[in-house]
Structure 1
Amino acid sequence: MNSIFLRLYGGLLLALCFIGAITYASVELVNHYRSDLYREAMARGTFYLMAEGYQRYEPAERERWSQVLSKLFNAEISLQNAQALELGYREELHLSDGLVVMRLNDSEGYADILFQLPGEDAYITTRMTKVSEQQARATAVLILNHLSHFPEEEWKPALARLQQHFGYSLSLVGRDSVSLDNEQEQRLNRREVVIALDDSTRRDSSIRIFAPVAQTGMLLMLGPLSLFDQFPIELLLIAGALSLIAVAFATYLQVSPLQRRLKQLDRAVSQLGSGDLGAYANIEGNDAIGQVAATFNGMTAHIRRLIESQREMTRAVSHELRTPVARLRFGLEMLADIESADMRREKLNAMDHDIEQLDQLIDEILTYARLEQGTPNIEFTPVVVAELCEQLREELETIRGDTSITVECASLGLDVEAEERYLHRVLQNLVTNALRYARSSIVMRVQESEGRVLIYVDDDGPGIPEHERERVFKPFARLDKSRHRASGGYGLGLSIVKRIVDWHGGEIRVEESPAGGARFTVELPRTQQEQHVLGRMG
């Protein structure tokens, strides 16, 4: 994915999915834990009263209390020891702390509830399948039974002491202070336990249980008992806050590398703006920023090359022009003193030759300068290399002298995507350069290797020393010491060849030829995959 948008969007989407999964699992885990606490808090007081009842009986008589409780709660309630229950370590800790332990069996839809008699190795056990009104009424009966063991004036203190074992409020209220419907009033008159549901909203739903207390006109009120809320607002707010923090962190992880790379690019641009042509953006990657950095690095390399080329050209041009201009000046001075018409004509011919050299030099300089301005709009078309080589051989037939030029190609139909006139210029420069040095033969060979076309130009001349092979592609480079260059040329031909090869995404190198001279190898891709905007460093 090279698009910054896709990287950011994809990264954030993955982060949100991950955060959503973690949040959901966390909420489920917390709700499961809260539901366990809720059930234990609702049951702890009831089982505390059961245990209190058991401890009022002698061990031999406790079975009777078990029967009473079983009938009261409509569930089998009994006493068992730890060995029969096979308690786990966590269960033992909870039970020894006076807590209720529930063994849930969701698949079967029941829960085994355990509670330890304080200070004894005996445990109340029962199996509940659902929470019913009968259990609520039974709890109220147990509380009233507990209060019956105290004088009336001690009921409130006794209820306050009992409160610490319950997860909901216990209180004594006047009957007149409670608002009930007619049916509920009638049930109270019959000394029945009444359950009142306050269902104002889902979140505020609660239950209150009322039980008449003897003939006092007082009511025992249990509650309000709030229904368990799977998604309390506090938990949702915390989960939302944590999710926002996680999204912010994920966004930072996505944006931070991009920001860091943009700062690197900004520093490189600032360096270039301050005149430092050695500025380089060391940014890797194939995304948009990496491509901009690569373009920037290519641009700075191109600017350095242009400036260096300009400096070299200025030095070389001044040197190259000095010799023919000096000869022309000297010739003009001598011309005034020559009286013989034949000698005057000979001197004029020499001056005309100097002017022709100047014209060739200026033409080469202008060509090289034009090529150094940047990559032209090249139109790549299939070019049959063997046919182009044969065409060039015929064009050079009149100037080759005694030197033979041959073409060898394994496949006559082998083509390459290139600009034909530029490829022709490459081969022309290489072959004419070889003509200056070859003793008797020049061979152009064309081969294909791994999707690339190889063009060899071999001669049987003196060759090029290994330490000079890189320098021959630089402008105005000369291997001989003579300023007149007996072999001809101005040292720009191979520089032009290298620039054109770079445009085509290829390579050029010089090696020793099998014939003993120099071998120039041009390697080009058969198909062009991309535009070579700034070329390569020379």
Structure 2
Amino acid sequence: MIGSNRLLARLGTYKPAPWRGRYSLSRLFFNFYLLVMGSFVAIAVFADFVISAAIKGVTDDYTSRFMRGTIVLIEDELFRKPRSEWPKTIEALDRKFAYKLEIVDRWTLQLPPREAEKLDGGELAIGAQGDVVYHRLKQTPQILVVGPISPERNPEYQRGLPLDLRISLLTWSLIGVCLAIVVWFWVYPVWRDLEAMRQTARALGEGLFEARAPGMRSSAFGPLAETLNGMAERIQLLIATQKELSSAISHELRTPIARMRFALEMLSETDEASERERLRKAMEDDLGELDGLIDASLTYARFEREQPELQLSSVDIAVWLAEQIEAVRLLSRELDLRLDTSALPPGQRVEVDCRSLPYAVANLLRNAIKYARSRIDVSAEINDGSISVHVDDDGIGIPRDERERVFLAFTRLDRSRDRTTGGHGLGLAIARLVLEHHGGTATAGESPSGGARLTLTWPLSQNVTES
């Protein structure tokens, strides 16, 4: 109760902090798009590097075989003329090719060791970029250099960017556009779900516990929304229960406190020993009533707040019921308290939680003791895999339209008997909570003896190992 008041006070003064870093749709889209596109480009570049390194040898070999015929023809043309005319000859040939031709000395070249070895061995050597071919002119120290392609002489290069570069740019542009469309259709439902979750969380933070997250389009947010809604329902139920409990307890406290205050005033005004003893006894009764109210309220709040894990044991139901009756027999005074298990098979075993279920049975017996005139009958029977325990009294009974309401907390049908019968209207409410934890229920009806019949029903077996 105190915790509930503190929670309500905090909710009443709560002011949500401004939402920092709120993602708009465009920001979420661009961030995700850049992440995906950057990752894709990095992977593509790395893959291109690996593939290029792997096929470089194959490419160089193809270039060597492709250029060998042209280089042999150029070499034959040069050796038909004196070496003094080679510069003019190579200049004339250079104007006929789309790639550059020149003759240089061997010592001016800086080639990788492998290519230098091939060049010195009479083979064609390929430049580091793969666009220049080197050939030693027979046994001379001079080297024929073929390449790279000259854009000024090649019509394909005079129209702007190289063809392969233009194809690459067009390909990457199409990939970027297609990826942007895919990312948009993926991000929009996610953003919508995030926005809905944000609005729901903000409403819950402001204390509006009736707020619920709508259905999520993204399967990733579906469980989160269900969890959030379940949490909100649970908090709403807890707060409503605590409000109801606080209001009911406050009302219940007024009567014994008022009686105690009146008794104290009377005690100070009387000198008669018998009257003082009567007033003292009345105050003791009121203190006992307050203590019982607090204990019953705490028990009800515990069962209402949480569902403790059942620790089930298989018991002989006839023996177990006899033990429960003996535990309260002293309270029955002159009442005739009987147990009838003749409808049960001999040795019938039932799974029960020996911590909580005795509390439910004891509450039904105490209720019958309060209102019975002379007799209380306890019986049990098996119906469709369930055990039913009936507690019948010969009291005034419960009106038909009130038989469900008696299981609500702080409900008493005859308030004029509060002082004589005691109780706070929590016993039957606790009994129903206990039975709900067992997968059963508690109901009220008419007793064969004319009073009230209270019944506990729960499954015989709950598929657990006997503890």
CA distance in 2, matches of 1:470, 1:386: 28
Q: CA deviation at 1:491?
A: 0.6
Residue by residue over 1:186-239, the C-alpha shift from the partner in whole angstroms, topping out at 9 and shown as x without a partner, is: xxxxxxxxxxxxxxxxxxxxxxxxxxxxxxxxxxxxxxxxxxxxxxxxxxxxxx
CA distance in 2, matches of 1:276, 1:294: 17
CA distance in 2, matches of 1:511, 1:301: 32
Q: Does 1:528 align with 2:462?
A: yes
Amino acid at match of 1:406: L
Q: CA deviation at 1:398?
A: 2.0
Q: Does 1:440 align with 2:374?
A: yes
Q: CA deviation at 1:275?
A: 2.8
1:362–1:462 Cα change, 3 Å: same
**Counterpart pick for 2:255 among 323, 333, 338:** 323
Residue by residue over 1:339-382, the C-alpha shift from the partner in whole angstroms, topping out at 9 and shown as x without a partner, is: 22333223222222222222222222222233333122432222
Q: Does 1:366 align with 2:298?
A: yes
1:403–1:282 Cα change, 3 Å: farther
Q: Does 1:407 align with 2:332?
A: no
1:381 aligned residue: 313
CA contact (8 A) 1:403 1:439 kept: no
Equivalent residue runs for 1:78-477 within 5 Å: 271-280=203-212, 298-400=230-332, 401-408=334-341, 409-477=343-411
1:262–1:473 Cα change, 3 Å: farther
SS state at 1:276 partner: coil
CA contact (8 A) 2:307 2:437 kept: yes
**Counterpart pick for 1:501 among 435, 454, 462:** 435
1:502–1:347 Cα change, 3 Å: same
1:393–1:334 Cα change, 3 Å: same
CA contact (8 A) 1:403 1:435 kept: no
Residue by residue over 1:34-68, the C-alpha shift from the partner in whole angstroms, topping out at 9 and shown as x without a partner, is: xxxxxxxxxxxxxxxxxxxxxxxxxxxxxxxxxxx
1:429–1:300 Cα change, 3 Å: farther
CA distance in 2, matches of 1:291, 1:260: 16
Q: CA RMSD in A?
A: 4.1
CA distance in 2, matches of 1:300, 1:440: 49
CA distance in 2, matches of 1:377, 1:434: 29
SS state at 1:313 partner: helix
CA distance in 1, matches of 2:296, 2:449: 30
Amino acid at match of 1:309: T
1:271–1:446 Cα change, 3 Å: farther
SS state at 2:269 partner: coil
Residue by residue over 1:45-103, the C-alpha shift from the partner in whole angstroms, topping out at 9 and shown as x without a partner, is: xxxxxxxxxxxxxxxxxxxxxxxxxxxxxxxxxxxxxxxxxxxxxxxxxxxxxxxxxxx
CA distance in 2, matches of 1:516, 1:293: 52
1:392–1:281 Cα change, 3 Å: farther
Equivalent residue runs for 1:19-58 within 5 Å: none
User: Considering only CA atoms, is the larger Rg found in Structure 1 or Structure 2?
Assistant: 1
Residue by residue over 1:506-537, the C-alpha shift from the partner in whole angstroms, topping out at 9 and shown as x without a partner, is: 2222222333322222221233369xxxxxxx
Structure 1 residue runs without a partner (length 5+):
1-244, 531-538
CA distance in 2, matches of 1:283, 1:453: 41
Q: CA deviation at 1:277?
A: 2.5
Residue by residue over 1:411-449, the C-alpha shift from the partner in whole angstroms, topping out at 9 and shown as x without a partner, is: 243333331121111100011111222233323332333
CA contact (8 A) 1:382 1:416 kept: yes
1:483–1:321 Cα change, 3 Å: farther
SS state at 1:421 partner: coil
CA distance in 1, matches of 2:404, 2:329: 30
Q: CA deviation at 1:259?
A: 10
Amino acid at match of 1:527: S
Q: CA deviation at 1:319?
A: 1.8
1:518–1:304 Cα change, 3 Å: farther
CA distance in 2, matches of 1:523, 1:517: 20
CA distance in 1, matches of 2:372, 2:203: 49
CA contact (8 A) 1:403 1:442 kept: yes
CA contact (8 A) 1:309 1:475 kept: no
SS state at 2:270 partner: coil
1:323–1:292 Cα change, 3 Å: same
CA contact (8 A) 1:453 1:525 kept: yes
Structure 2 residue runs without a partner (length 5+):
1-177
CA contact (8 A) 1:507 1:523 kept: yes
CA distance in 2, matches of 1:415, 1:261: 52
Structure richer in helix, relative to its length: 2
**Counterpart pick for 1:513 among 419, 441, 447:** 447
Amino acid at match of 2:385: G
Q: CA deviation at 1:298?
A: 5.0
SS state at 1:404 partner: strand
| Count of matched residue positions in the alignment of Structure 1 and Structure 2 | 289
- TM-score, length-normalised on structure 1? 0.46
Residue by residue over 1:110-159, the C-alpha shift from the partner in whole angstroms, topping out at 9 and shown as x without a partner, is: xxxxxxxxxxxxxxxxxxxxxxxxxxxxxxxxxxxxxxxxxxxxxxxxxx
CA distance in 2, matches of 1:442, 1:431: 8
- TM-score, length-normalised on structure 2? 0.52
SS state at 1:375 partner: coil
CA distance in 2, matches of 1:526, 1:356: 38
